[in-house]
Amino acid sequence: AQKITQTQPGMFVQEKEAVTLDCTYDTSDPSYGLFWYKQPSSGEMIFLIYQGSYDQQNATEGRYSLNFQKARKSANLVISASQLGDSAMYFCAMRDSGGQNFVFGPGTRLSVLP
Protein backbone atom coordinates (compact mmCIF):
# COMPACT_ATOMS: atom_id res chain seq x y z
CA ALA A 1 0.00 0.00 0.00
CA GLN A 2 1.11 3.54 -0.65
CA LYS A 3 2.22 5.64 2.28
CA ILE A 4 3.55 9.16 2.74
CA THR A 5 5.46 10.26 5.84
CA GLN A 6 6.15 13.84 6.84
CA THR A 7 8.02 13.81 10.12
CA GLN A 8 8.01 17.56 10.79
CA PRO A 9 4.66 18.70 12.18
CA GLY A 10 5.92 22.27 12.30
CA MET A 11 8.88 24.26 11.01
CA PHE A 12 10.12 27.79 11.49
CA VAL A 13 12.31 29.70 9.07
CA GLN A 14 13.61 33.24 8.96
CA GLU A 15 12.44 35.38 6.09
CA LYS A 16 14.81 35.19 3.07
CA GLU A 17 16.36 31.93 4.28
CA ALA A 18 15.93 28.57 2.55
CA VAL A 19 13.98 25.74 4.16
CA THR A 20 13.63 22.02 3.46
CA LEU A 21 10.44 20.14 4.19
CA ASP A 22 10.89 16.39 4.46
CA CYS A 23 8.84 13.72 2.76
CA THR A 24 9.38 9.99 2.46
CA TYR A 25 7.17 7.60 0.60
CA ASP A 26 6.58 3.93 0.16
CA THR A 27 5.31 2.15 -2.92
CA SER A 28 6.07 -1.02 -4.82
CA ASP A 29 5.05 0.49 -8.15
CA PRO A 30 8.03 1.54 -10.33
CA SER A 31 5.93 4.25 -11.97
CA TYR A 32 4.63 7.02 -9.72
CA GLY A 33 4.35 10.73 -9.30
CA LEU A 34 5.21 12.86 -6.30
CA PHE A 35 3.54 16.17 -5.57
CA TRP A 36 3.65 19.03 -3.13
CA TYR A 37 0.68 21.20 -2.22
CA LYS A 38 0.42 24.38 -0.20
CA GLN A 39 -2.60 25.16 1.94
CA PRO A 40 -2.61 28.71 3.33
CA SER A 41 -4.87 29.74 6.17
CA SER A 42 -7.56 30.65 3.64
CA GLY A 43 -7.96 26.92 3.00
CA GLU A 44 -7.43 26.36 -0.69
CA MET A 45 -5.11 23.60 -1.91
CA ILE A 46 -2.48 24.94 -4.27
CA PHE A 47 -0.43 22.60 -6.44
CA LEU A 48 3.26 23.55 -6.28
CA ILE A 49 5.47 20.99 -7.97
CA TYR A 50 5.56 17.52 -9.53
CA GLN A 51 8.27 14.88 -9.86
CA GLY A 52 7.86 11.73 -11.93
CA SER A 53 9.61 8.58 -10.82
CA TYR A 54 11.45 8.30 -14.13
CA ASP A 55 12.51 11.93 -14.27
CA GLN A 56 16.28 12.25 -14.29
CA GLN A 57 16.38 15.83 -13.12
CA ASN A 58 14.99 17.28 -9.92
CA ALA A 59 11.88 19.34 -10.57
CA THR A 60 12.00 23.10 -10.07
CA GLU A 61 9.28 25.74 -10.17
CA GLY A 62 10.46 29.22 -9.34
CA ARG A 63 11.54 29.25 -5.69
CA TYR A 64 10.41 25.65 -5.22
CA SER A 65 12.58 22.66 -5.96
CA LEU A 66 12.12 19.01 -5.20
CA ASN A 67 15.10 17.07 -3.91
CA PHE A 68 14.29 13.62 -5.28
CA GLN A 69 16.34 10.71 -3.92
CA LYS A 70 14.79 7.63 -5.42
CA ALA A 71 16.89 5.04 -3.60
CA ARG A 72 16.01 6.63 -0.29
CA LYS A 73 12.39 7.11 -1.33
CA SER A 74 12.48 10.72 -0.34
CA ALA A 75 11.05 13.78 -2.06
CA ASN A 76 11.93 16.82 0.01
CA LEU A 77 10.62 20.25 -0.89
CA VAL A 78 13.12 23.10 -0.83
CA ILE A 79 11.84 26.66 -0.68
CA SER A 80 14.49 29.24 -1.36
CA ALA A 81 14.39 32.84 -0.14
CA SER A 82 11.37 32.33 2.12
CA GLN A 83 8.70 34.98 2.15
CA LEU A 84 6.08 35.77 4.76
CA GLY A 85 3.45 34.53 2.31
CA ASP A 86 5.01 31.08 2.38
CA SER A 87 3.57 30.50 5.86
CA ALA A 88 1.12 27.65 5.32
CA MET A 89 0.58 23.91 5.60
CA TYR A 90 2.51 21.89 3.07
CA PHE A 91 1.41 18.45 1.97
CA CYS A 92 3.44 15.84 0.17
CA ALA A 93 1.43 13.42 -1.97
CA MET A 94 1.95 10.45 -4.22
CA ARG A 95 0.11 8.81 -7.05
CA ASP A 96 1.13 5.52 -8.57
CA SER A 97 0.01 3.97 -11.80
CA GLY A 98 -1.33 0.87 -10.09
CA GLY A 99 -4.05 2.37 -7.95
CA GLN A 100 -4.16 5.79 -9.49
CA ASN A 101 -5.18 6.81 -6.01
CA PHE A 102 -3.77 10.02 -4.59
CA VAL A 103 -2.32 9.66 -1.09
CA PHE A 104 -1.44 12.63 1.10
CA GLY A 105 0.94 12.92 4.01
CA PRO A 106 -0.11 14.53 7.31
CA GLY A 107 1.44 17.86 6.38
CA THR A 108 4.04 20.26 7.78
CA ARG A 109 3.08 23.68 9.07
CA LEU A 110 5.67 26.23 7.99
CA SER A 111 5.94 29.56 9.73
CA VAL A 112 8.11 32.25 8.19
CA LEU A 113 9.44 34.75 10.74
CA PRO A 114 10.10 38.39 9.86
| Contacts with another protein, residue ranges (CB under 8 A) | 31-33, 35, 37, 43-45, 47, 50, 52, 91, 93, 95, 97, 99-104, 106-107
Nearer to another protein, 64 or 104 (CB): 104
Q: Which is nearer to another protein, 78 or 89 (CB)?
A: 89
Angstrom distance (rounded) from CA 103 to CA 114: 33
Closest contact distance (angstroms) between CB of 32 and another protein is: 8
SS (H, E, C) 83-97: CHHHCEEEEEEEEEC
Q: In the complex, what is the shortest distance from the CB of residue 71 to another protein, in angstroms, rounded to a whole number?
A: 21
Least CB distance from residue 90 to another protein, whole Å? Answer: 12
Strands (E), 15-71: 19-21, 24-26, 32-39, 46-52, 60-61, 64-69
